[in-house]
């Protein structure tokens, strides 16, 4: 099965990475729209038009299912994409439901892009699941920028995150929901602020599980060492993935090396 996975940038790599863990037998086309990142600061019309263009690109290359590995694009475009195309198209939304259902009493913080926070999709979700009004929403657009330049642990990153959380009393929170796929890279920084008790919840495993269900494939766990890549050739060979940046195939050793570093980062922060 050939599965297309797209995002505005390298956030979607975290979903692909989770797929390597649980659906290692599949073929993938990964598309990062690096020419247009960040989507979180674009208009809904722009995001919809990029999403349609990318979906057509992936279909032309034989994708049999598509994962919109971007909460922002999902909130704006998923309905229209499903209306236009007949293959399975899966979206992502902040994992508020498991956060609310898996905890009680204390508050839940959702971080996402400004578009995701503004759009009705998240409001509707909260209306359905946040009965006791325990959820707070906080936009963190600069994390997308930091992630795109692979700056994950700098003082500037930590200062930015601290500053955004400053108005809140961290003791009141039991869970932090990562409502943007780019935010997965910063788990060690959140840990420094929230401590070990707080749950960090992302939607990646849920998405891959859902993908398997929709496609009627069994989840099968890859050996852990397969998901740490020593070199780019091993990465390409083992993962059976074609990588694209805004329609251009990624073939240069330098770019592939960068993707390998990002995969290894994702592997290291996965269980934080
Ligand atoms: N990674 C995307 C998300 O999950 C959006 C990042 C951006 O381009 O602003 O929302």
What pLDDT was estimated at residue 206? 97
What pLDDT was estimated at residue 225? 84
| Paired tokens of 44 | 């809904």
Choose the CATH number for 96-203 among 3.40.50.1860, 2.60.40.1730, 3.40.50.300, 3.40.50.1370.
Answer: 3.40.50.1860
Task: Please say whether the beta carbons of 201 and 30 come within 8 A.
Answer: no
Shortest CA distance to 28 belongs to which of 12, 49, 39?
A: 12
User: Residues 16, 180, 200, 266: which is the catalytic one?
Assistant: 180
What pLDDT was estimated at residue 224? 82
185 close to ligand 1 (CB < 6 Angstrom): no
What pLDDT was estimated at residue 221? 87
H-run or E-run covering 257? helix 253-269
List all residues 6 or more positions away from 149 whose beta carbon is below 8 Å from its beta carbon. Answer: none
Which among 73, 143, 184 is the best mutation to test ligand 1's pocket, defined by most ligand atoms within 8 Å of the CB?
Answer: 73
User: Residues 19, 47, 65, 70: which is the catalytic one?
Assistant: 70
Which among 5, 8, 17, 148 is the best mutation to test ligand 1's pocket, defined by most ligand atoms within 8 Å of the CB?
Answer: 8
Q: Is the dihedral of CA 9, 203, 168, 39 positive or negative?
A: positive
| Paired tokens of 13 | 């790599």
Task: Please say whether the beta carbons of 97 and 127 come within 8 A.
Answer: no
Which residue carries 């297309």 as its tokens? 4
> What is the distance in A from the centroid of ligand 1 to the CA of 113?
6
Taking the C-alpha atoms of residue 73 and residue 90, their distance in angstroms, rounded to an integer, is: 11
Task: Please say whether the beta carbons of 272 and 187 come within 8 A.
Answer: yes
54 close to ligand 1 (CB < 6 Angstrom): no
In this prediction the pTM is 0.97
Mean pLDDT, consecutive 10-residue stretches, the chain (272 aa), reads: 98 98 97 98 98 98 98 98 98 97 94 98 98 97 98 97 95 96 97 91 97 96 88 92 98 96 96 78
Please name the fold of domain 2-92+205-269. Rossmann fold (3.40.50)
What pLDDT was estimated at residue 28? 98
Which residue carries 């979903």 as its tokens? 15
Residue 180 appears among annotated catalytic residues: yes
Residues of the chain with CATH 3.40.50.1860: 2-92+205-269, 96-203
């Amino acid at each position: 099965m050939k599965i297309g996975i797209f995002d505005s940038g390298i956030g979607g790599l975290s979903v692909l990475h989770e797929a390597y863990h649980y659906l290692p037998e599949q073929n993938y086309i990964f598309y990062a729209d690096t020419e247009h990142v960040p989507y979180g600061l674009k208009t809904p019309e722009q995001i919809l038009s990029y999403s349609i263009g990318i979906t057509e690109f992936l279909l032309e290359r034989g994708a049999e299912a598509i994962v919109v590995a971007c909460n922002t694009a999902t909130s704006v475009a998923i309905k229209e994409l499903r209306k236009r195309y007949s293959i399975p198209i899966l979206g992502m939304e902040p994992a508020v439901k498991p956060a609310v259902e898996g905890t009680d009493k204390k508050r839940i913080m959702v971080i996402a892009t400004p578009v995701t926070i503004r759009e009705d999709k998240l409001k509707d979700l909260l209306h359905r699941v946040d009965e006791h009004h325990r959820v707070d929403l906080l936009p963190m657009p600069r994390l997308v920028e930091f992630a795109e330049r692979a700056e994950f642990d700098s003082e500037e990153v930590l200062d930015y995150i601290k500053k955004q959380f400053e108005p809140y009393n961290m003791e009141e929170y039991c869970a932090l929901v990562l409502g943007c796929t780019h935010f997965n890279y910063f788990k060690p920084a959140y840990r420094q602020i929230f401590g070990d008790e707080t749950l960090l919840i992302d939607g990646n495993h849920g998405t891959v599980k859902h993908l398997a269900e929709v496609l009627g494939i069994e989840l099968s766990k890859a050996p852990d060492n397969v998901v740490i890549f020593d070199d780019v050739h091993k990465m390409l060979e083992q993962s059976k993935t074609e990588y694209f940046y805004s329609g251009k195939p990624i073939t240069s050793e330098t770019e592939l090396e960068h993707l390998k570093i990002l995969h290894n980062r994702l592997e290291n922060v996965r269980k934080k």
